[in-house]
Amino acid sequence: MINILRGARQKLARLRPVRVPDAPARAFRDLWPGDAARGARLLRGEFETAGTARPLRIGLAGAEGWDAPSGSVTWRAAAHGFAWMRDLRALGTDAARLHARALTADWLARGAEEAVADAPEVMGSRLSAWLGHWDFFAATAEDQFRRAVMTRMAQDARDLSNALPAEAEHRGALAALKGAMAAAIALEEDAYLQRAARFLPAEIERQFHPDGGHVERSPAMQLVALQDLIEIRNLMHGAGVEPPPHLAALLDRAAPALRLFRHGDGGLALFNGTRDESSALIDLVLTQGQARGRAPLDLPESGFQRLQAGRTLIIADTGAPPTGRTAAGADGGLPAGADRFAHAGTLAFEMSVGRDRLVVNCGAAPAAEEAWRDALRATAAHSTLILSDTNSAELRPEGLGRRPEQVETARHESAGAQWLEASHDGWRRAFGAVHRRRLYLAESGDDLRGEDMIEVGGDGVVPSFTLRFHLHPGVVASLLQDESAALLRLPSGIGWKLRAKSARVALEESVYIGGEPRRSSQVVLVADEGEASVQWAITRVSMAGPGEG
């Protein structure tokens, strides 16, 4: 009902006159590279975001893409947000330029009245995209087209300024604020700019933990929120407005925090809605953010740990899931809580050796339909323990329901060796159980030891549980005949062995959705009946044959 009333107010507001300049007063340039392959798909009438591709065709070519039946709300929010402009720009052709105009005209004719288009984060994204690509798609267009875009831009800027601060508790509120500031500067609306600048310090304080980690606890959101901060800083400098000291201080924390999530190949660990990101983009963001210093070893408030010895790297999720709401609370059906993309992967870890990833999580499909999206959010899609085939957090369309509330972590180091002790109570309500995980990484980096325990109160019976170690598709796995261990060969030829005590070792199929879906394997440790603890180890071994490590 709130969304319906807000939409009605916005439609009425657009009947009121608004000042519409002939062109933006300031020229902007989108900082980030596009993907030419995605741009080519757009030319063919298909829009891909976060691994989900669906038709996006103008009226004369089938008229698909803007309305609710076209795809999930996340997919449609991305379509209405126009960040895909950078993918068409990456093609650098006249055909791409003309298609950008055609899609924009089609949106003005058919998509502009969709509810999701009026969500503050979507308006903010669209304003940023239009202004950042004005020279590409609009500057040389016909007067009627430019006037239509400028009119909608002025209306959106007014609506967005009035909507601040945005209700969303996640990165979307930062996108809304950034778009409002860009539009205020481009339209020379000082009142809008002053309003946005007034809300900026509180918003960036709300968006990030003291350790610099973003509240969504997602490496992907850490990256895009850092991009937002950089753009806001540049906007204010370009307009001759002094950014608040909060912004520079936050950049000094948020940029190094992003480094904690990077594997040896330069990409990000796959937690909470994250997919493979271009290492070149990450490098560019860190450069633009003027990041100094090495990756921190831990983010205590955000709840992530980084163990590194020799060429081996462990990145572990040791924090409570982000906060959420019991119902979707934003315009257009968009979730409002910081747990909108959260996974049930508490205490999961990933492991890489040099540039080779070994143990991973399955990835994410946040823009897919609910069944596929939630299959990748499930505990079983992560390299951690799963108790009685029950997720450690309840998956809901708007985020999480039941979830771990107490997640405790202790870290120790001695003579180069490092170990973690962590626990969570996500199964306390259902089974009266607590999961405890210990990880030990030897000084050489060639020996990772682990122990996973289930604690139940009183005389409770320990439910059945399994441990899953999802392997990167580049890893070749084979099971020993006696099912006591699995041999793992990295693309470099280096061999590792995963063995366990008090559990049967099995090898099963898995899937890796870092980018395009790829088949992979997983090592599964099935705890012996009645056992409350499983000890395991991943150690480097010599393997005969070419490329022996």
Dihedral of alpha carbons 92, 97, 98, 102, sign: positive
Contact indicator for 308, 259 with CB cutoff of 8 Å: no
CA–CA dist 212, 237 (Å, integer):
22
| Across 117-126, 227-236, 322-331, least confident range | 322-331
Local confidence band at 363 (pLDDT 50, 70, 90 cut-offs):
very high
Of the two residues 292 and 503, the one the predictor is more confident about is 503
Mean pLDDT, all residues of the chain: 93
Token couple for 129: 């995209």
Closest CA to 297 of 308, 282, 288: 308
3-state secondary structure 469-494: EEECCCCEEEECCCCCEEEEECCCCC
CB within 8 Å of 228: residues ≥ 6 apart: 171, 174, 175, 178
Task: Give residue 14's pLDDT.
Answer: 60
CA–CA dist 171, 181 (Å, integer):
16
Closest CA to 358 of 345, 371, 367, 349: 349
What percentage of residues in the chain have a pLDDT greater than 90?
Answer: 86
Task: Give residue 531's pLDDT.
Answer: 94
Local confidence band at 166 (pLDDT 50, 70, 90 cut-offs):
confident
Residue range 187-201, pLDDT digits in tens: 999 999 999 999 999
Local confidence band at 489 (pLDDT 50, 70, 90 cut-offs):
very high
Closest CA to 230 of 184, 287, 186, 183: 287
Dihedral of alpha carbons 307, 404, 326, 362, sign: positive
User: Which phi and psi (to 5°) does residue 356 adopt?
Assistant: -100, 130
pLDDT at 63 over 70: no
Contact indicator for 453, 435 with CB cutoff of 8 Å: yes
Token couple for 372: 């596929």
Task: Give residue 2's pLDDT.
Answer: 46
Token couple for 121: 């984060």
Burial class (CB in 10 A: 0-12, 13-18, 19+), 367: buried
Burial class (CB in 10 A: 0-12, 13-18, 19+), 512: buried
CA–CA dist 306, 297 (Å, integer):
5
CA–CA dist 192, 245 (Å, integer):
21
Burial class (CB in 10 A: 0-12, 13-18, 19+), 279: middle
Task: Give residue 229's pLDDT.
Answer: 97
Query: Which domains are delineated in the chain?
Result: 2-207 (no CATH), 304-324+333-541 (2.70.98.70)
Distance between alpha carbon 496 and the CA centroid of its chain, in Å? 30
CA–CA dist 324, 393 (Å, integer):
12
CA–CA dist 241, 252 (Å, integer):
20
Task: Give residue 230's pLDDT.
Answer: 97
Q: What number is the average pLDDT over the span 427-456? A: 97
- Reported pTM: 0.94
Q: What number is the average pLDDT over the span 346-363? A: 98
- HSE on the CB side for 117, CA within 13 Å? 21
pLDDT at 62 over 70: no
pLDDT at 510 over 60: yes
Dihedral of alpha carbons 182, 186, 192, 194, sign: positive
pLDDT at 3 over 80: no
CA–CA dist 61, 59 (Å, integer):
5
Q: What number is the average pLDDT over the span 45-56? A: 95
User: Which phi and psi (to 5°) does residue 120 adopt?
Assistant: -55, -40
Task: Give residue 481's pLDDT.
Answer: 83
Local confidence band at 547 (pLDDT 50, 70, 90 cut-offs):
very low
pLDDT at 493 over 60: yes
| Across 6-10, 263-267, 284-288, 482-486, least confident range | 6-10
pLDDT at 121 over 80: yes
Q: Give the Cβ contact number of residue 62 at 10 Å.
A: 11
Task: Give residue 42's pLDDT.
Answer: 97
Local confidence band at 1 (pLDDT 50, 70, 90 cut-offs):
very low
pLDDT at 330 over 70: no
pLDDT at 12 over 90: no
CA–CA dist 211, 234 (Å, integer):
23
Q: What number is the average pLDDT over the span 68-79? A: 94
Helical pair 190-207 and 245-260, crossing angle rounded to 10 deg = 40
CA–CA dist 175, 170 (Å, integer):
10
Closest CA to 545 of 446, 448, 476, 447: 476
Q: Which amino acid is at 432?
A: G
Local confidence band at 326 (pLDDT 50, 70, 90 cut-offs):
low
Closest CA to 455 of 505, 523, 387, 399: 387
CB within 8 Å of 336: residues ≥ 6 apart: 167, 168, 169, 170, 325, 328, 329, 330, 398
| Across 60-69, 148-157, 331-340, 425-434, least confident range | 60-69
Please report, for residues 44, 46, 163, 405, the alpha-carbon distance to residue 61 in angstroms, rounded to integers and kept in the order given: 10, 11, 35, 50
Q: Give the Cβ contact number of residue 350 at 10 Å.
A: 24
Contact indicator for 307, 414 with CB cutoff of 8 Å: no
pLDDT at 511 over 60: yes
CA–CA dist 308, 315 (Å, integer):
9
Task: Give residue 546's pLDDT.
Answer: 41
Task: Give residue 7's pLDDT.
Answer: 56
